[in-house]
Amino acid sequence: MAETRALEGRRIAVYVSGSVAAYKAASVVTALRKQGAEVRVAMTAAGARFISPITMQSLSGHPVATSLWDEPAAQDAGHGMTHLALAAWAELQVAVPASADLIARLALGLADDAVTATALACRAPLLLAPAMESEMWSHPATQSNLDTLRGRGAVVVGPTSGRLASGDEGPGRMVEPDEVVAAVPGVLPGVPAGARWLDGERVVVTAGGTREPIDPVRYVGNRSSGKMGNALTDEALRLGGRVILVTAAPPPPPRHGLTVVEVGTADEMLAAVRAHLAGAAVLVMAAAVADYRPAQAAQRKIKKRDDPFDLALVPAADILHALRDDDARRGAIVVGFAAETDNLLANATAKLAEKRLDLIVANDVSSEGIGMATDDNAVTIIGRDGVVAEVSRAPKREIARAVFAAVHALHHRR
């Protein structure tokens, strides 16, 4: 495949702070240069302990600024003072990883090292890729500092949930390098037309598997993890949308432009979607909504007995069918998902017509290693005129990009 050089000649300052995720900065610098960008790097003292400045110099092709008195870096940028040289040169600042400490110092406007002094003197947009332990990420001080930076125009990508340096699982893990690089065109001044085509538009996304209660401790559910819905949310945010995520799964970390509505049952999800659908440009129904629910939920826990237990089920709310003729969806591009085990295209196409969808994303959940509760998927995107795109096994973030590319094509024609 031909290498795209969408960032040809663009000047990007990369800031590396102290985090185990500092190794990902090497991949970010490499990818930016492959797209044609010129990259210069500044590092905090802690960042330089996690990855060598020599490594970053080799990858960027320029001396690395590690202190306010770095003469080689200053001379390379054409100025007598390192931070002023780099600040005047950069068209975009990318902090990768952005530790809790760096985020705090940037919010306070400190200028006590090469990174913070450069950032304070620089008027270029700032992109942050946070990385830290869950407790640090969720602390009110960190969230307040991020709100301060967002208020000044900074864009935050991630973090995601996953395994952390401590060995714990939770939010705070830095997103992968390709996600950082993918966010750059949307932040860099003078981006190509259409790069943030959802700018300011409302996008409603549903995620996770609904849970229909049997009693206060048991429920009828499915294996959906919400990962596909979260990936779609990330992509819509990257494209500039204001996202309402209606989720039956654990919510993602808070981000600028994202409103999360947590639900449990199909009825709750239907009510939440209806409450937020008016004025939306796009509705993406990625949730795995229960087809059936118990006819009556017990108010107290049903005690285990030796005799058989019969559970009467009735159809659960069919959200897309309920919204089929709803005035609130008028003008919105509506995307459904079809998880099938056989007759994939026929079943998905029938659902597209029955629910009056614009697009449907069909995936075979019988295939091992893809679909529900996995990181990958393989899908066929179908429109009213037939197959729009086929995506072989790929990470769900790539599936999300393909889905929104298909949505963009429809949006452009309207």
Element (H, E) at 26: helix 23-34
Q: What stretches in the chain show pLDDT beneath 50? A: 1-2, 193
State the pLDDT at residue 64.
Answer: 93
- The domain 202-412 belongs to what CATH superfamily? CoaB-like (3.40.50.10300)
CATH of 11-186, one of 3.10.450.750, 3.40.50.1950, 3.60.20.10, 3.30.70.3270: 3.40.50.1950
- pLDDT digit string, tens, across residues 331-362: 899 999 998 888 999 999 999 999 999 999 99
Active-site annotation holder among 222, 230, 363, 377: 222
Tokens, residue 190:
């003078």
Question: Is residue 222 annotated as a catalytic residue, yes or no?
Answer: yes
Sorted by where each begins, the domain ranges of the chain are 11-186, 202-412
Cα–Cα dist 322/305, whole Å: 38
Cα–Cα dist 208/363, whole Å: 16
Phi, psi dihedrals of residue 412, rounded to the nearest 5°: -65, -30
End-to-end CA distance of the chain: 31
Cα–Cα dist 340/357, whole Å: 17
Length of the chain: 414
- Whether 11-186 and 202-412 share one fold: the answer is yes
State the pLDDT at residue 74.
Answer: 53
Q: What is the pTM of this model?
A: 0.61
State the pLDDT at residue 255.
Answer: 76
Tokens, residue 305:
């007995």
- pLDDT digit string, tens, across residues 56-81: 999 999 999 998 876 665 555 555 55
